[in-house]
Structure 1
Amino acid sequence: MVASRLKPARIEHVVDGIRLRAQLSAAYAAEGENARSAVRSLLHGALFRGRMVAKERLEAGENGLAVARLLAQVADEVVAALYDYTTTHIFRARNPTAGERFAIIAVGGYGRGELAPSSDLDLLFLRAYKQTAFDESVTEYMLYMLWDMGLKVGHSSRNIDECLKLAREDHTIQTALLEGRRIAGDDSLAQELFGRFRKEVADRDHAGFITAKLTERDERHARAGASRYMVEPNIKEGKGGLRDLHTLFWLARRRYGFSQMREYVDAGVFTNEERNAFRRALEFLWTVRCHLHFITGRAEERLTFDLQPELAKRLGYGGRANQSGVERFMKRYFLVAKEVGALTRTLCARLEADQAKQSPKGLQRFLSSGRKRSAPVEAGFFVDAGRLNIESEDILDTPANALRLFSIAEKLDLDIHPDAFGLVSRRVRAFSPAWRKQPEARAAFLEVATSARHPGAALRLMNEAGVLGKFVPEFGRIVAQMQFNMYHHYTVDEHTLRAIDAMSEIERGRHTDQHPLASEIFPKIINRRALYLAMLLHDTGKGDGDQQIEGEKSARGACERLGLPQEEVDLVGWLVGNHLVMSDVAQKRDIGDPRTVAQFSKVVGNVERLRLLLVLTVADIRAVGNVWNDWKGQLLRDLYRLTEAALHGGRSDEEGVRAHLAEIAHGAKEQLLKDIGGARADVLQAWLDALDDGYWLNHDADALKWHALEVMRARTERAIPHVAARIREAQGVTEVLVYAGDRAGLFASLASAISASGADIVGARVHTSKDGAAFDVFSIQTTGHKPFGFNDPRALDALTSRLTNAALADHAAPPPAPPSRRNAAFAIEPWVRIDNDITPHATVIEASGRDRLGLLADLAHVCVEAKVSVVSAHIDTYGERASDVFYVQEEDGGQISNPRRIASVRGKLEAVLRAAEPAAPADPAKAPLAVGRASTAR
């Protein structure tokens, strides 16, 4: 909520140009050519005063656009005063010839009359003809003076012919000149440039310019992030940001010669409402940008997590209900970005209507393809230049047609015409709730939401138009909703639509290599419609307490309103209410434990639900961002196979699962003896007999073979401890095995050694053989989520040596490092849960808190001090939060049963977690900026 506009600041009240010139002349009169230092101080002082006034007005509630214009005016006064001083006192041309005419032109954004606090000054030093000693001297003197004042100056020195030649060759230079504005010097020279530029460049080849700018925009979006709903957006270069608004300005000015907002309305390009939306978006984005520059003291364009709370506070966003101030502020940002997208569509439609020529290849969606209006495809709908349009506004008197527009477009694989898109966006706001229950509307919506083609793309268009959230108000609640954490990369609605994209791609066989099981079982799914609706509604409970419980309630309400049979309503509700269960069990529980599989089998109930839940889970994780890897995929596949076998066999109790595990173990042993036994079959047999049945479920066949070969080598050569490592590129991890004599504190020592090497432990499997040997397997990555040592074999050699030493003697954990500035932006409440009901054989400890280097090792050392053994460890990170699960036993076996010991262990674990907390919340306005990114290594 940007505060109301203040009375505009008059530039003479900020920087008095006449007085400034008099002071400069006085300094020269007093010191002559030795006045340089005094002149610099006067100019810098004027610039500094202007910046301080701009900052004060911004903090008092002035919008950023007005501030940017004030800063540009201040820069104008300083540059013009410097030019006058230079040409009057330093390099005065007493009788200038026509060839010595000279002008200073502001170009780019500065030429538009807008300047961010830390942006460059883009200047063109314009000559009449060839370079002379006069203009070369003036240019050099001014540039050095501006640089000495600490300004960043983008500059060029050209004559008019050179400007026009380069503009014809380079659309970037064209764009800069399109916004040119004289600051000082010969006005007739500047006007000659602008006149010839309009006649010889800007009035020609509109299609080529539009093609280049839209292509440039697409490339910029790809660099900054293809979605306008990324939770750390680039407010200048990102999709829906300031540069997109500037692109609209460039296209309109190039095509129509516009320079004022009212001209858009007068020419019919935008309605008055859209003109106001343009203005609101421009003011809001400029406000955010100016605050960012002043807070950081640099040209910061990325709205990072550590800066968002301060921005929310400065703009007056406080917490309400279940939304924090920062989440409310970011929701406003994303709604503005969405509005920018709608304005882009509108302007492109106008350009299309005005474009007479065949559009350049690759731009058919923006400019006319030359096709004429076709016959209606259905009553009230027709194809217009390759896109679906509506005959008249009266069509929307039947609200169901708003949904039919998207349904028909999806069915025929057509884009929506911007005219129809804009009309639906405006009309849908007035629709009464009754339309949600109209049979035609329900049918059209379900066709789109469960399409076998590209449901995500069609739903995204409906969301952009405001139709999806209006028709499904449960979804409307999460539109532009941000989750203030480092785990989720997108807003809740964008994450949901990406999840639908991922699920549709799996169904169409696009990811058989990454998701072989999900691709294999999808054709066997019976309740496909329930699956797609569950995905659409799976996060509608976010922000209202337990997201699964609240999400199930909202999903049931939506499905009942859609008229689904009760059985389908129940299935969608169950999927939404349990959509996190499978990933939690796979990543946080020991699936080699019969009770874990038995309990999960009871939750699932039947194979159809298991299939639905696997596909839902895989697509949900993929849509989060860069968190998917095949390590997680393998965990999910293993849990699925075990549960499927238990459900198919009708023995989902613990004894049935245990019997099945024994069968798997027996089959795996037989296969290993057949594959690698040979002359060393006795050594291999001894190793196989020393392992319990749970081991065989924690590793795939390839890993079992690798383990057996390494252990046989160690036993044959009597080289214990033995450490080996291999890179599993497909899984995104490096696996490290340690075979050593068991001892108290071994796991903690090994974890400390790995953390000290700078590796991130993403998984750990701890085994103790029946003959007293320890066999621990770690899956590790770099902090950039790549296999550790992939590009640096020496790092892997050093880790192997360090682990060998750690297996023989305790290795101290690295000292806790303070969280990065970005990580410290989040308030994280540590917690510890200790449970004796999950399995009868061990106590399960779950510790969750702020992630940091060495956290796993520190938690493991608490177990050492408490004299409990770590049986297995399950490691995961959710952005800034770590969640580590340990299965532990007393020294003599069994669970920790003494309540005092449980309380003591909990207290010590909580103390370790709290050690990672910053002393006080980070204040972006005061704290120094951190270098580098947060480490997720533990």
Structure 2
Amino acid sequence: MQGRLAAPPASRGCLDLAQIETIELEGGLIRPDETDGAERLAALREFIRGSLEQADALLAEQFWDGRDVTELVHARAWVVEQLLLLAWKKLVPFTERVGLLAVGGYGRGELHPQSDVDLLILLGDEVAEDRPSREIEAFVQLLWDAGFYVGHSVRTLSECAEDSAADVVTTTTFMESRLLAGSKALLDALLEATATDRMWPGKAFFEAKFEEQVQRHARYHDTAYNLEPNIKEGPGGLRDIQMISWVTRRHLGARTLHGLVEHGFLSVSEHRDLVGGRRLLWRIRFALHLLAGRAEDRLLFDFQRQIAERFGFRDGETSLAVEQFMQLYYRTVMRLERLNESMLQLFQEALADREKDDIHDLGGEFRVRNGYVEVASDAVFPRRPAALMELFVRLAQDESLKGVTAATIRSIRDHLYLVDEEFRADPEVNGSFLELLRQPEGVYTQLQRMNRYGLLAAYIPAFENIVGRMQYDLFHVYTVDQHTLFVVRNLRRFAYGKYQERFPHTREVYKRIAKPELLY
């Protein structure tokens, strides 16, 4: 997608296209310093403001009536595009050396009710000293006055190349550029000057984006299960999905998430989970923007009940409507978080020189590949289901292990059907679980990983009921499953005296407990 958007069905009736065409053709350019310039500018501003308000009201009505949110975010991007182009054509004279580009989420053709409209006003290097500054300022000012939230920059081609080389965030912004007005040659020059394969070698691009995600997750305490989660920036949120999309585009050249299926990185069911998860997050975000009247990405306590009711949830005997809604949300982001982890690890493995893989035997039916545990063959879990539990014991026993390979994560998920009553009664399985709880290190980390992969809920049916379950009050900051795991983590901290200044006696008391695993 490098050009203008096509009108989606949900945009029908949103704009008076005949009136837009009439305004385009009448009177030529508006020059604010001319006699009637201020009056014409005010009339244009009020027309655009009124058109945007009318379109937003119609899209909101369709949303609450149950229209697919995917259609609506694309429809709003199209609506905004028509009004932007009208303003640009009336205020900025056409030249091959100046272009108007959509970037970021708007470049992808996605706009929620209060989202920023990200624009790049691109100048050819030769126009740097003769840029139409007054016209551009009038254009941007009109957009703000008409009710748009504009995120814009004015750059020359050379400045774009310099900024792209210095900052991977800028690089990914340019990857999603679309030409709205101006010369296509200018867009082509931008894409060539900022091409990721020139600016950022494959491994460097991946590492920079991965580090960006690590830092972002750290701001949310590496958990999606907060009382008021950020559905865009938090773990398992929309930014994680976009992270997958950026890396997919950079390394596979695929413009849609389905490219991951075509290249064997995702199964059909995983792709369905990914797209379905994004649709739910888009629905929640669309609702948040409408209810808050601002660009709100935090699922705030005050809005949770309203959205639950709007989405059709009803109070039951054992849980409130809002608790049911939030459990759906938390379980969805848990799946998305797992898919993000698997996809990024697969990309990391694909970028590695496989001839230089460091592979060594871990004993039994496991081996280590470049620091990650994997099963020795696809037949391990079907042949010996107890290996599902043993794998996490192996991880806890060796602190140098980084985690589980993406292929083995998928295999764990695919073989959860093996966790039945016979599995739960198996002495070998139960022995491995107790052995995990006895480990001096890594207990909380592995229980958390088991929860993320679905094994903990499958093994302990009672735990399955609390996965993603929240209690609708301001006291419980995390979901019930996360609170439970945090209790285990805090007990572990007592064991090795992490907070000895605050709790000077806990370590000594802990040492006297004959079977501390029973505490968990």
Pair in the same fold by TM > 0.5: yes
- SS for the counterpart of 2:499 is coil
Q: Does residue 60 of structure 1 match 2:65?
A: yes
> Which of 360, 374, 378 is the equivalent residue of 1:393?
378
> Residue type of the partner of 1:513?
E
**What do residues 124-179 of structure 1 show as CA deviations (whole Å, max 9, x unaligned)?**
00112233656323311210110111222111111222211210011121121111
- For residues 160 and 239 of structure 1, the distance between their equivalents in structure 2, rounded to whole angstroms, comes to 35
> Residue type of the partner of 1:377?
L
Q: CA deviation at 1:313?
A: 0.8
**What do residues 363-385 of structure 1 show as CA deviations (whole Å, max 9, x unaligned)?**
xxxxx9954221x3223211111
Q: CA deviation at 1:16?
A: 5.0
- For residues 202 and 112 of structure 2, the distance between their equivalents in structure 1, rounded to whole angstroms, comes to 29
Aligned to 2:340: 344
- Taking structure 1 as the reference length, the TM-score comes to 0.52
Distance 1:298 1:29, change over 3 A: closer
Q: Is the 8 A contact 2:236 2:340 kept in 1?
A: no
- For residues 227 and 70 of structure 2, the distance between their equivalents in structure 1, rounded to whole angstroms, comes to 23
Aligned to 2:314: 318
- SS for the counterpart of 1:224 is coil
Q: Does residue 128 of structure 1 match 2:113?
A: no
Q: CA deviation at 1:191?
A: 2.5
- For residues 56 and 232 of structure 1, the distance between their equivalents in structure 2, rounded to whole angstroms, comes to 26
Aligned to 2:3: none
Q: CA deviation at 1:273?
A: 1.2
Q: Is the 8 A contact 2:120 2:155 kept in 1?
A: yes
Aligned to 1:45: 50
- For residues 350 and 29 of structure 1, the distance between their equivalents in structure 2, rounded to whole angstroms, comes to 53
Aligned to 1:524: 512
Unaligned stretches of 5+ in structure 2? 1-6
Aligned to 1:464: 452
- SS for the counterpart of 1:487 is coil
> Residue type of the partner of 2:204?
G
Q: Is the 8 A contact 1:241 1:337 kept in 2?
A: yes
Q: CA deviation at 1:345?
A: 1.7
Aligned to 1:197: 194
Q: Is the 8 A contact 2:29 2:91 kept in 1?
A: no
Q: CA deviation at 1:8?
A: 5.7
> Residue type of the partner of 2:463?
F
Bigger CA radius of gyration: 1
Q: Is the 8 A contact 2:10 2:72 kept in 1?
A: no
- For residues 517 and 350 of structure 2, the distance between their equivalents in structure 1, rounded to whole angstroms, comes to 43
> Which of 483, 501, 509 is the equivalent residue of 1:513?
501
- For residues 13 and 249 of structure 2, the distance between their equivalents in structure 1, rounded to whole angstroms, comes to 32
- For residues 17 and 197 of structure 2, the distance between their equivalents in structure 1, rounded to whole angstroms, comes to 35
- For residues 121 and 18 of structure 2, the distance between their equivalents in structure 1, rounded to whole angstroms, comes to 23
- SS for the counterpart of 2:100 is strand
Aligned to 2:171: 174
- SS for the counterpart of 1:306 is helix
- For residues 76 and 175 of structure 1, the distance between their equivalents in structure 2, rounded to whole angstroms, comes to 21
Query: Which structure is higher in RCO with an 8 Å CA cutoff and minimum separation 6?
Result: 2
Distance 1:17 1:213, change over 3 A: farther
**What do residues 52-86 of structure 1 show as CA deviations (whole Å, max 9, x unaligned)?**
12211211113433322221111111111222222
> Which of 250, 253, 264 is the equivalent residue of 1:254?
250
Q: Does residue 82 of structure 1 match 2:87?
A: yes
- SS for the counterpart of 2:302 is coil
- For residues 209 and 481 of structure 2, the distance between their equivalents in structure 1, rounded to whole angstroms, comes to 29
**What do residues 777-823 of structure 1 show as CA deviations (whole Å, max 9, x unaligned)?**
xxxxxxxxxxxxxxxxxxxxxxxxxxxxxxxxxxxxxxxxxxxxxxx
> Residue type of the partner of 1:51?
D
Q: Is the 8 A contact 2:171 2:196 kept in 1?
A: no
Q: CA RMSD in A?
A: 2.3
Distance 1:162 1:18, change over 3 A: farther
Q: Does residue 412 of structure 1 match 2:398?
A: yes
Aligned to 1:15: 15
Q: CA deviation at 1:295?
A: 0.2
> Which of 291, 297, 301 is the equivalent residue of 2:293?
297
Which has the higher mean CA deviation after the structures are superposed, 107-116 or 456-465? Answer: 107-116
Distance 1:39 1:28, change over 3 A: farther
- Taking structure 2 as the reference length, the TM-score comes to 0.92
Q: CA deviation at 1:195?
A: 3.4
> Residue type of the partner of 2:154?
S
**What do residues 401-437 of structure 1 show as CA deviations (whole Å, max 9, x unaligned)?**
1111112222223222221112101220354322111
Distance 1:451 1:199, change over 3 A: closer
> Residue type of the partner of 1:102?
V
- For residues 302 and 157 of structure 1, the distance between their equivalents in structure 2, rounded to whole angstroms, comes to 30
Aligned to 1:185: 182
Q: Is the 8 A contact 1:116 1:290 kept in 2?
A: yes
Q: CA deviation at 1:462?
A: 0.6
- For residues 260 and 148 of structure 2, the distance between their equivalents in structure 1, rounded to whole angstroms, comes to 35
> How do 1:256-295 residues align onto structure 2 when only pairs under 5 Å count?
256-295=252-291
Q: Is the 8 A contact 2:381 2:388 kept in 1?
A: yes
Q: Is the 8 A contact 1:124 1:155 kept in 2?
A: yes
Q: CA deviation at 1:25?
A: 3.5
- SS for the counterpart of 1:14 is coil
Distance 1:452 1:113, change over 3 A: same
Aligned to 1:825: none
- For residues 21 and 417 of structure 2, the distance between their equivalents in structure 1, rounded to whole angstroms, comes to 56
**What do residues 818-849 of structure 1 show as CA deviations (whole Å, max 9, x unaligned)?**
xxxxxxxxxxxxxxxxxxxxxxxxxxxxxxxx
> Residue type of the partner of 1:259?
R
Q: CA deviation at 1:519?
A: 2.2
Q: CA deviation at 1:482?
A: 0.6
> How do 1:836-875 residues align onto structure 2 when only pairs under 5 Å count?
none
Q: CA deviation at 1:293?
A: 0.8
Distance 1:319 1:142, change over 3 A: same
- For residues 10 and 313 of structure 1, the distance between their equivalents in structure 2, rounded to whole angstroms, comes to 24
- For residues 511 and 441 of structure 2, the distance between their equivalents in structure 1, rounded to whole angstroms, comes to 15
Q: Is the 8 A contact 1:387 1:417 kept in 2?
A: yes
> Which of 410, 414, 425 is the equivalent residue of 1:437?
425
Q: CA deviation at 1:517?
A: 2.6
Q: Is the 8 A contact 1:28 1:35 kept in 2?
A: no
> Which of 15, 23, 40 is the equivalent residue of 1:35?
40
**What do residues 516-554 of structure 1 show as CA deviations (whole Å, max 9, x unaligned)?**
23222111122423212xxxxxxxxxxxxxxxxxxxxxx
- SS for the counterpart of 2:171 is helix
Distance 1:531 1:432, change over 3 A: closer
Aligned to 1:372: 358
Q: Is the 8 A contact 2:497 2:506 kept in 1?
A: no
> How do 1:147-158 residues align onto structure 2 when only pairs under 5 Å count?
147-158=144-155
Q: Is the 8 A contact 1:101 1:128 kept in 2?
A: yes
Which has the higher mean CA deviation after the structures are superposed, 320-329 or 257-266? Answer: 257-266
Q: CA deviation at 1:28?
A: 6.3
> Which of 201, 215, 220 is the equivalent residue of 1:219?
215
Q: Does residue 146 of structure 1 match 2:131?
A: no
Q: Is the 8 A contact 1:506 1:519 kept in 2?
A: yes
> Which of 310, 323, 327 is the equivalent residue of 2:323?
327
- SS for the counterpart of 2:219 is helix
- For residues 334 and 450 of structure 1, the distance between their equivalents in structure 2, rounded to whole angstroms, comes to 30
Kindly, what percent of the aligned residue pairs are identical? 28
Unaligned stretches of 5+ in structure 1? 1-6, 358-367, 533-938
Q: Is the 8 A contact 2:11 2:76 kept in 1?
A: no
> Residue type of the partner of 1:476?
E
**What do residues 896-926 of structure 1 show as CA deviations (whole Å, max 9, x unaligned)?**
xxxxxxxxxxxxxxxxxxxxxxxxxxxxxxx
Q: CA deviation at 1:261?
A: 2.3
Aligned to 1:473: 461
> How do 1:814-833 residues align onto structure 2 when only pairs under 5 Å count?
none
- For residues 119 and 463 of structure 1, the distance between their equivalents in structure 2, rounded to whole angstroms, comes to 34
> How do 1:702-721 residues align onto structure 2 when only pairs under 5 Å count?
none
- For residues 186 and 209 of structure 1, the distance between their equivalents in structure 2, rounded to whole angstroms, comes to 29
- For residues 455 and 461 of structure 2, the distance between their equivalents in structure 1, rounded to whole angstroms, comes to 10
- For residues 319 and 378 of structure 2, the distance between their equivalents in structure 1, rounded to whole angstroms, comes to 38
Q: Is the 8 A contact 2:10 2:59 kept in 1?
A: no
